[in-house]
Chain A
Amino acid sequence: MKKILVVAAGLVLAACGTAQQTLPVANEGVAHQGNQLAKVTPDASGLVYEHSTDGGRTWQRSTLHLDLPTRQAVVALSPDGARAGVMATLPGSASTGGLPALFTGPAAGPLAARQAPVAGDVAWVGSRLVLVGGPQRSLVYSSPDGGVTWQKLDGGGRFNVPATAPSHGAPLTTADGVTVPVTAHGRPSTVRLDTSKDGVTFTKGVVVTLSGDAAPGVAVPVAVTGPDAYVVVDPSGVLHVVHATTQETITPSGLPGPIESLTFTDAQHGTAQVAHACTSKDGCDHTVTPMVTDDGGHTWR
Chain B
Amino acid sequence: MKAKLISVVAAAVLAFAGAVAAAGPANAAPQREQLVGQGVDSCAAPSLSQMSAFWNNTPYSAWGVYIGGIDRGCSQPNLTKAWVASVTNQGWHLMPLWVGPQNPCASGFDHFSTNTTTAYSQGKAEAVKAWNAMSALGMATNSPVTYDLEAPGSSTTTCINATKAFVRGWVAQLHVAPAQTAGVYTSTCSGFIDQFTTSPAPDFITGADWDGVLSTSSMSCVSTSHWTQHQRHKQYRGGHNETWNGVTINVDSDCSNGPTLALAPFSGNSACL
The chain B residues found within 8 Å of chain A, CB to CB, are: 38, 41-44, 46-47, 50, 53, 57-59, 64, 66, 70-78, 97, 99, 107-108, 148, 150-151, 153-154, 185, 187-190, 208-212, 214, 220, 235, 237-244, 246-253
Q: Is the CB of A215 within 8 A of B249?
A: yes
For chain A, the count of residues having a C-beta within 8 Å of the partner chain is 53
Q: Is the CB of A72 within 8 A of B243?
A: no
Select which of A70, A94, A221 is within 8 A of B252 by beta carbon: A94
With A99-B151, A136-B43, A217-B42 as contacts: A89 and B238 at CB distance below 8 Å: yes
Query: How far is B44's CA from A163's CA once the two chains are assembled, in angstroms?
Result: 7
Which of A98, A163, A167, A221 has the most C-beta atoms of chain B within 10 angstroms of its own C-beta? Answer: A163
Q: Is the CB of B248 within 8 A of A278?
A: no
Residues of B within 8 Å of A235, CB to CB, are 243, 246-248
- Given contact pairs A99-B150, A163-B78, A213-B248, a sample of 10 additional A-B residue pairs in the complex whose CB atoms are under 8 Å apart: A91-B209, A98-B238, A101-B153, A117-B108, A135-B43, A136-B73, A163-B77, A218-B248, A260-B240, A281-B57
- Secondary structure class of chain A's binding surface, majority of residues: loop
B253's closest neighbor in chain A, by CB? Answer: A284
B242's closest neighbor in chain A, by CB? Answer: A278
Residues of B within 8 Å of A69, CB to CB, are 189, 209-211, 220
Residues of B within 8 Å of A101, CB to CB, are 153
A137's closest neighbor in chain B, by CB? Answer: B250
Query: How far is B244's CA from A236's CA once the two chains are assembled, in angstroms?
Result: 10
User: Smallest Cβ distance from B237 to chain A, in angstroms?
Assistant: 7
Residues of B within 8 Å of A219, CB to CB, are 241, 250
Query: How far is B252's CA from A95's CA once the two chains are assembled, in angstroms?
Result: 10
User: Smallest Cβ distance from B26 to chain A, in angstroms?
Assistant: 26
Q: Is A205 an interface residue (CB 8 A)?
A: no
Q: Is the CB of B248 within 8 A of A161?
A: no
Select which of A161, A214, A277 is within 8 A of B73 by beta carbon: A161
Q: Is the CB of A218 within 8 A of B148?
A: no
Query: How far is B208's CA from A278's CA once the two chains are assembled, in angstroms?
Result: 20
Q: Is the CB of B151 within 8 A of A95?
A: no
Q: Is the CB of A95 within 8 A of B72?
A: yes
Q: Is A162 an interface residue (CB 8 A)?
A: yes
Q: Is the CB of A72 within 8 A of B210?
A: yes
Residues of A within 8 Å of B247, CB to CB, are 212-213, 215, 235
Query: How far is B272's CA from A67's CA once the two chains are assembled, in angstroms?
Result: 26
Q: Is A289 an interface residue (CB 8 A)?
A: no
Residues of A within 8 Å of B66, CB to CB, are 93-95
Which 8 residue pairs across A and B have the least CB separation, nearest first? A135-B73, A258-B243, A91-B208, A235-B248, A95-B73, A217-B250, A91-B187, A215-B249
Q: Is A296 an interface residue (CB 8 A)?
A: no
Query: How far is B46's CA from A163's CA once the two chains are assembled, in angstroms?
Result: 10
With A68-B187, A94-B43, A96-B150 as contacts: A281 and B249 at CB distance below 8 Å: no
Q: Is the CB of B246 within 8 A of A136?
A: no
Q: Is the CB of B212 within 8 A of A161?
A: no
Q: Is the CB of B246 within 8 A of A213?
A: yes
B40's closest neighbor in chain A, by CB? Answer: A94
Which of A69, A72, A220 has the most C-beta atoms of chain B within 10 angstroms of its own C-beta? Answer: A69
Interface residues of A in 104-149 (CB under 8 A from B): 115, 117-118, 134-137
Residues of A within 8 Å of B58, CB to CB, are 278, 281
With A91-B151, A284-B59 as contacts: A217 and B249 at CB distance below 8 Å: yes
Residues of A within 8 Å of B50, CB to CB, are 213, 215
Query: How far is B119's CA from A97's CA once the two chains are assembled, in angstroms?
Result: 26
Residues of B within 8 Å of A212, CB to CB, are 243, 246-248
Residues of A within 8 Å of B154, CB to CB, are 67
B73's closest neighbor in chain A, by CB? Answer: A135
Q: Is A286 an interface residue (CB 8 A)?
A: yes
Q: Is the CB of A158 within 8 A of B108?
A: yes
20 contacts between A and B (CB under 8 A): A69-B210, A70-B210, A89-B238, A91-B210, A92-B187, A92-B208, A93-B235, A95-B72, A95-B74, A159-B72, A161-B75, A162-B75, A163-B77, A212-B248, A214-B248, A215-B46, A215-B50, A278-B59, A281-B58, A286-B240
Query: How far is B66's CA from A97's CA once the two chains are assembled, in angstroms?
Result: 13
Which of A158, A167, A284 has the most C-beta atoms of chain B within 10 angstroms of its own C-beta? Answer: A284
Query: How far is B77's CA from A277's CA once the two chains are assembled, in angstroms?
Result: 28
Q: Is the CB of B74 within 8 A of A136?
A: yes
Residues of A within 8 Å of B243, CB to CB, are 212, 235, 258-259
